[in-house]
Amino acid sequence: MGDAVHGNTRRIRPGNRKDFGIAAELLAAALADDPATLWLHPKESTRRIRLARSFRSSLDDSRDCSDGVDLALDGTGAIVGVAVWLATFHILPRATVGRQLRALRTYGSHAAQARAGAQATYAAGVQEQHWHLLAVGVSAKARGRGHGQDLIAAGMYRAAADGVPVHLETTNPNNLSFYERLGFDTTAVIDLPGGGPRRWLMRQVPQPISSPARGRRSRST
């Protein structure tokens, strides 16, 4: 997907590896107080470092598997928002040893806790082909300007082109009304094991589009 222009001051473009350092730090800052973050990274002194490392891994996986990293830019071209998507029909069938080792580095003694949470979410989710929103975040200075909605709309456009729904999870109840306004419905609510937070699983079916313009970028970077 090429650049999508929204008005005169906002646009979305695909992310490449050269952007991922900034993107991971932005997501870590935006989601530092999320209930799932506090559960998996309770130690404040290492939280941001581990969280950025986790998001860097997710960004790499998303691009390699699905070309699913979208960046929101402000009027100056600065990155002010990030969305990380995976298409379930592009995901590798199992975690590689390298990914497992990265999980241990990211979560430390809480790696088993993170794995149990992921397994509980998978068991409660709908097993269908879909685009999955792994993470979305907007920098504090740019919130309230429509960047988050633009990022999700870009993923919904891809899902409509593929004829599949969009799925996401959130552990922040304050996010529910935002997603509901975008057409998402709650499909399941679970309490994560080991005293974890409540997680809402949500689904949205994008409207079909007649002629999707869906050029893919080169994988050279």
Matching residue, tokens 């992310």: 15
Spatial neighbors of 179 by CB under 8 A, at least 6 apart, are: 168, 170, 202, 204
Provide the strand spans (E) within the chain. 4-6, 10-14, 69-73, 79-87, 131-138, 166-170, 185-191, 198-204
Give the dihedral sign, CA 69/220/4/9.
positive
Taking only the tens place, the pLDDT of each residue in 135-158 is: 999 999 999 999 999 999 999 999
Question: Higher pLDDT residue, 46 or 171?
Answer: 171
Cα(158)–Cα(39) distance, integer angstroms = 32
CB 72 within 8 A of CB 12: yes
- What are the extents of the domains in the chain? 4-204
DSSP letter (8 states) at residue 94: S
Q: Say yes or no: domain 4-204 is CATH 3.30.420.10.
A: no
Residues in the chain: 221
* pTM of the full structure: 0.78
Taking only the tens place, the pLDDT of each residue in 154-193 is: 999 999 999 999 999 999 999 999 999 999 999 999 888 7
